[in-house]
Chain A
Amino acid sequence: MKRVTIDPITRLEGHGRIEIFLDDHGEVANAYFQVVELRGFEKFCEGRPAEEMPRITPRICGVCPSAHHIASTRALDDLYKVDPPPAAKKLRELFYCAHMIHSHIAHFYALAAPDFVMGPEADPAQRNILGVVAKVGLEIGGSVIRHRSYAQKIQEILGGRATHSVMGLPGGVSRRLSSDERNQIIEWAKSEVEFAKFSLKLFEDVVLGNKAYVDLILSDGYAMKTHYMGLVDEDNKVNFYDGDVRVVDTEGKELCRFPARGTAYLEHLAEHTEPWSYLKFPFLKGKGWKGFVDGQDSGIYRVAPLARLNAADGMATPAAQEAYEKYFATLGGRPVHATLANHWARLVELLYAAERLLELAEDPDITSDDIRVVPTETPVEGAAVIEAPRGTLFHHYQTDERGLIRGVNLIVATGNNHAAICMSVKKAAQAVIHKGEVRPGLLNMVEMAFRAYDPCFGCATHSLPGEMPLVANIYDHEGRLTQTLSR
């Protein structure tokens, strides 16, 4: 049996690794996507004061630290059974919209755009952010840097620092917004809205204007029929900060829903362990763990932009709603199963985040002094769910009566997609490997499937020029290295 190893940056600390096994006929027998890293936050947070969790858990990921900060802060609201004043909720959501904007801009321009703007077949030396800038012009490049930077600055104003912010407390936030700061944010937010519209236009021109790309997005090798999970508000519109978790099935019908505050998630979700990966595999309890298969009977679901749009009935802001309608009209209606549509969905969300940011900045409450309620209840247990840029994020804490952590459970955004990523990788491999012949396009195909999820553990998330260094080692049935593909 032949074996193909794709080790994204072998020498780097873990992250992810792909192993592909070929059968005697040289066809793909199976593919494994392994997460080779564990840091054990669930354990070493024990003994910490609960109120410090928003300052500790962001170190799980420095690319989406604000997602952990907010999830943690909301879990503390639940732990202390306290309801923050309206202004505090709005400040948190404003802060969080800025975070989404930063993350979505970074992902789209640094990672996704190179594949589409330069083309998946382009010379790898060109297929990066610098190539994109060269093609679309330095002016746009500057605009990308500027708009990501505004989003970071907004988080810094409220959170003290853009990365690993500190303002979240049970019952509110530690800092109010001055009216000067608010005026500045309004200005930036207006600019973000325009920039998001521009980004969607760019996507439409470059990708939708090119039949080959549309065919690629809709192709079978990149489609998978799964259930979808996302946070929605009371009107079933996409929300990042609060509401209900809604799961729709492969046909788009509601399968279950539960509040984003409290421990109800345990009734609907469970995690499966495999001996070959450090990351667990969440699945829908109602369906059960059926292994790595898609379809209506499987418990496997997906999260992140594609899933969020599938799980919602629309967007809560006008321009984003228009973009949402166009998205589904073009891709053949809800739900969309095409993994690569994640990139488009991400831009629809970028527009929503920008519009919502502006709405909140203009809200008369936003500069209020009433930003904190001091909790009085004795803590026992608390949990909350939010939408991280890369999917639904669960924080769940148990404490002693002094509020010292006794138990922590975390289901991180990318974890939800773990099983789906494994299957996407296998599918992509099956599409390009036949009769033992491994086409060079393998790395690219697999990488594109992978990158659509924007997996948090991969170099994908952190890779600036959109180039994930990959090495594929091909072994014969006796384990001898016969071929190395790399770039």
Chain B
Amino acid sequence: MADKLKLALYWAASCGGCEIAVLDIDEKILKVAELADIYLWPVALDFKYKDVEALADGFLDVCLFNGAIRNSEQREIAELLRRKSKVMVAFGACACYGGIPSLANQFDRDQIFGRVYFDTPSTVNPGKVLPQTSYRVPEGELHLPTFYNAVYKLDDAVKVDYYLPGCPPPPSLIWTAVEAIVSGNLPPPGSVIAEEKAVCHFCTKRKDEKTVTAFRRVHEFIPDPEKCLLEQGIICSGPVTRGGCGERCLSANMPCRGCFGPTPEAIEQGANMLGAVATMVEGKDEQALAKALETVVDPLGTFYRFTLADSFLRLRNRSLTAREAERAGAAPAPKEVAS
């Protein structure tokens, strides 16, 4: 066989679920080891930062990068791996769109600290002690890293060639991506490795073209498992979410929350979802619409469940945008970095 594929896998601000998803390809993992030389996989192999630094630029064929960018260290690694890799893949919802951790972008660090270290009911902290980035203990000085005030997606920091969505990506899709990479049979750069059509298109639940007057929450009634959830009044992001997941949540009778990100048409998943919800409402006059929308209790956390770092809202992640990154060739220093 010709040269083996040179592969790197990396995790930044991630929950570890994406790594477990890689393991869930089961025996095929041994095949990956056959087809590729893995140069970097911190969960699995001894990681020597210096070794990666010493590689020639563009030496690695592919880097699969999961997790979001939450601190400067992660950003430096993203930049390093970008330089060393011909192809950069954003792996999983966090790397693609910020994921669930980017819901934190509604709050700043002080609010988060206040809750965690002062206000939680089991915390006993009369001295109002907060973790410090540098603190003198009797024996010397201890340091903690500083965190950005916001969560960023990968392409806010570096150029991304492919997106593999999902929280986590399903093992079958991971295998599809691996095969495409190994055979060199890749779609045009910038592509999302998933379906073009929405989750709804693949969903087998029956659609009766029904409208609703109000929306209901998942715990409030037992829906008919055969019928479209949205038509039963349950908010489901299926219409605006890219397909390819195998409709996993729907198979358990639960609505889609959008972990595959927007469809090609729905560039702003949250805004498009608002539109999709509006078209469900009976009557369509303003009053009926307003009344129905009142029954959607948490539009932000529902419509942007996985994509807040990717939304036009740009709550706190204003400075580290993909556009800036492209213009400058590399991402500029984010302004919100706290001291």
Of A36, A51, A63, A270, which is within 8 A of B144 by CB?
A36
> Given known contacts A40-B107, A62-B20, is B139 in contact with A1 (CB within 8 Å)?
yes
| Cβ–Cβ < 8 Å partners of A46 in chain B | 115
Q: Please, what's the 1-or-0 string for A39-68, where 1 marks a CB less than 8 Å from any CB in chain B?
A: 110111111110110011011111101000
Set B16, B23, B129, B145: member contacting A273, Cβ < 8 A: B129
- B46 contacts the other chain (CB 8 A): yes
B280 within 8 A of A: no
B107 near A160 (CB under 8 angstroms)? no
Extra A-B contacts (15), CB below 8 Å, given A29-B139, A266-B121: A10-B49, A12-B73, A13-B13, A13-B67, A38-B147, A52-B301, A62-B15, A146-B26, A161-B248, A265-B122, A273-B125, A275-B135, A396-B121, A464-B41, A464-B45
- Number of residues on chain A facing chain B (CB within 8 A): 99
Q: Which residues of B contact A48 (CB under 8 A)?
A: 103, 298, 301
> Does A277 sit at the interface, judged by CB under 8 A?
yes
Question: Which 6 A/B pairs are nearest by Cβ-Cβ distance?
Answer: A62-B17, A160-B252, A21-B139, A40-B112, A464-B44, A62-B15
| Whole-angstrom distance between the Cβ of A390 and the nearest chain B Cβ | 12
Kindly list chain A residues whose C-beta atoms are within 8 Å of the C-beta of B107.
Answer: 40, 43-44
Give chain B residues whose Cβ lies under 8 Å from the Cβ of A409: 120-122
A169 within 8 Å of B (CB atoms)? yes
Given B67, B73, B140, which contacts A3 in the complex, CB threshold below 8 Å?
B140
Q: Is the Cβ of B49 less than 8 Å from the Cβ of A11?
A: yes
CB closest residue in chain A, given B223: A174
B27 at the interface (CB under 8 A from A): yes
Q: How far is the CA of A123 from the CA of B29 in the complex (A)?
A: 24
- Stretch among A211-219, A241-249, A455-463 lining the B interface: A455-463
* Contact A59:B100 (CB < 8 A) given known A163-B168, A278-B131: yes
Q: Which residue of A lies closest to B166 (CB)?
A: A161
Q: Which of A11, A44, A148, A158 has the most CB of B within 10 A?
A: A44
- Can you name the residue of chain B whose Cβ is closest to the Cβ of A161? B248
A364 on interface, CB distance cutoff 8 Å: no
Tell whether, in the assembled complex, residue B147 and residue A42 are in contact, meaning their CB atoms are under 8 Å apart.
no
B106: CB under 8 A from chain A? Answer: yes
Contact of B123 among A1, A175, A271 (CB under 8 A): A271
Question: What mask results when residues 371 to 415 of chain A are scored 1 for a CB within 8 Å of chain B, else 0?
Answer: 010110000000000000000000010000011100111010000
Among A21, A160, A170, chain B packs the most CB atoms within 10 A around the CB of: A160
The verdict on A32 contacting B142 (CB below 8 Å), with A13-B13, A282-B122, A404-B297 known, is: yes
Q: Which residues of A contact B138 (CB under 8 A)?
A: 30
Q: Contact partner of A21 among B15, B140, B221, CB < 8 A?
A: B140
Contact across chains for A462 and B217 when beta carbons are under 8 A apart: no
Flag whether B233 is at the interface (Cβ < 8 A).
no
B137: A residues at CB distance < 8 A: 21, 30, 32, 276
The answer to the question of B104 belonging to the interface, with a C-beta cut-off of 8 Å to chain A, is yes
Interface of A toward B, CB cutoff 8 Å? 1, 3, 9-14, 19, 21, 29-30, 32, 34, 36, 38-40, 42-49, 51-52, 55-56, 58-63, 65, 76, 80, 106, 124, 142, 145-146, 148-149, 152, 156, 158-167, 169-171, 174-175, 263, 265-266, 269-278, 280, 282, 289, 372, 374-375, 396, 402-404, 407-409, 411, 459, 461-465, 467, 469, 487
Partner of A276, one of B44, B48, B132: B132
Closest beta carbon of chain B to A369's beta carbon, Å: 10
Let me know if A11 and B26 touch, CB within 8 A: no
**Does B254 sit within 8 A of A, measured CB to CB?**
yes
Q: CB distance A404 to B122 under 8 Å?
A: no
A59 touches B101 (CB 8 A): yes
Assuming the contacts A13-B12, A29-B139, asked whether A55 and B257 have C-beta atoms less than 8 A apart, the reply is yes
Whether B24 contacts A467 by the Cβ 8 Å rule is no
Among A21, A52, A407, the one with the most B-chain Cβ atoms within 10 Å of its Cβ is: A52
Inter-chain contacts of B131 with A (CB < 8 A) = 38, 273-278
CB of A136, distance to nearest CB on chain B (Å): 16
Pairwise interchain contact A162-B302, C-beta atoms closer than 8 A: no
Instruction: Please measure, in the bound complex, the distance between the C-alpha atom of A281 and the C-alpha atom of B128, giving whole angstroms.
Output: 15
Residues of A contacting B47 in the complex (Cβ-Cβ under 8 angstroms): 9, 11-12, 469
Interface 1/0 per residue, B244-279 and A, CB below 8 Å:
000011111110010000000000000000000000
Q: Could you say which residues of chain A place their CB within 8 Å of the CB of B111?
A: 43
25 pairs, A vs B, C-beta closer than 8 Å: A9-B42, A11-B49, A11-B76, A11-B77, A21-B137, A21-B140, A42-B115, A43-B111, A47-B298, A49-B298, A58-B17, A63-B16, A76-B219, A106-B23, A160-B248, A160-B254, A166-B249, A167-B253, A175-B225, A274-B131, A275-B129, A280-B117, A289-B124, A463-B44, A469-B42
B180 within 8 A of A: no
B222 within 8 A of A: yes
Task: Enumerate chain B interface residues (CB-CB to A < 8 A).
Answer: 11-21, 23-24, 26-27, 29, 41-49, 67, 70-71, 73-74, 76-77, 99-101, 103-104, 106-107, 111-112, 115-117, 119-125, 129-132, 135, 137-140, 142, 144-145, 147, 167-168, 170, 217-222, 225, 248-254, 257, 297-298, 300-302, 305
Given the interface pairs A13-B14, A266-B122, the reply to whether A62 lies near B19 with Cβ below 8 Å is yes
CA distance A49 to B235 in the complex (A): 12
Instruction: Decide if B18 touches A62 in the complex (CB within 8 Å).
Output: yes
Measured CB to CB, the closest approach of chain A to B56, in angstroms, equals 20
Give Cα A54–Cα B97 distance, bound, in whole angstroms: 21
Residues of A within 8 A of B99 (CB): 59
Would you call B117 and A36 a contact (CB within 8 A)? no
Write the chain B residue with the least CB distance to A159.
B252
Q: Looking across the interface, which residue of chain B has its beta carbon closest to that of A51?
A: B219
Q: Given A30-B138, A59-B15, A276-B142 in contact, is the A13-B124 Cβ separation under 8 Å?
A: no
- Within the complex, the shortest CB–CB distance from A135 to chain B, in Å, comes to 17
Q: Do the beta carbons of B73 and A13 come within 8 Å of each other?
A: yes
Contact of B144 with A278 in the complex, beta carbons under 8 Å: yes
Distance (whole angstroms) from the CB of B36 to the closest CB of chain A: 15
Contact flag A51-B122 (CB < 8 Å), given A32-B142, A44-B103: no
Q: Smallest CB-CB separation from A464: which chain B residue?
A: B44
| Complex CA distance for A47 and B117, rounded to whole angstroms | 19
Contact of B142 with A19 in the complex, beta carbons under 8 Å: yes
Chain A positions within 8 Å of B27 at CB level? 142, 145
| Chain B residue contacts of A163, Cβ below 8 A | 17, 20-21, 24, 168
| Docked-complex contact A374 and B219, CB < 8 angstroms | yes
Q: Which of A13, A59, A162, A165 has the most CB of B within 10 A?
A: A13
Complex partner residue of A169 from B103, B142, B219, CB under 8 angstroms? B219
Cα–Cα, bound, A162→B115 (Å): 31
- CB distance B103 to A269 under 8 Å? no
- Contact check, B254 vs A271: say whether CB atoms are below 8 A apart: no
Q: Is the CB of A80 within 8 A of B219?
A: yes
Q: Is the CB of B70 within 8 A of A13?
A: yes
Residue among A38, A51, A152, A469 making CB contact with B46, cutoff 8 Å: A469
- Known contacts: A38-B112, A62-B168, A462-B16. The answer to whether A276 contacts B252 by CB under 8 A is no
**A470, chain B: closest CB distance, angstroms:** 9
Query: Chain A contacts of B115 at CB under 8 A?
Result: 40, 42-43, 46
Least CB distance from B285 to A in Å reads 26
Chain B residues whose CB sits within 8 angstroms of the CB of A274 once the complex forms: 129, 131
Q: Shortest distance in angstroms between B220's beta carbon and chain A's nearest beta carbon?
A: 7
The answer, among B12, B26, B70, B219, for a CB contact under 8 Å with A375, is B219
Instruction: Give the shortest distance, in Å, between A28 (CB) and chain B (any CB).
Output: 10
Q: Is there contact, CB below 8 Å, between B218 and A169?
A: yes
Smallest distance from the beta carbon of A67 to chain B beta carbons, Å?
12
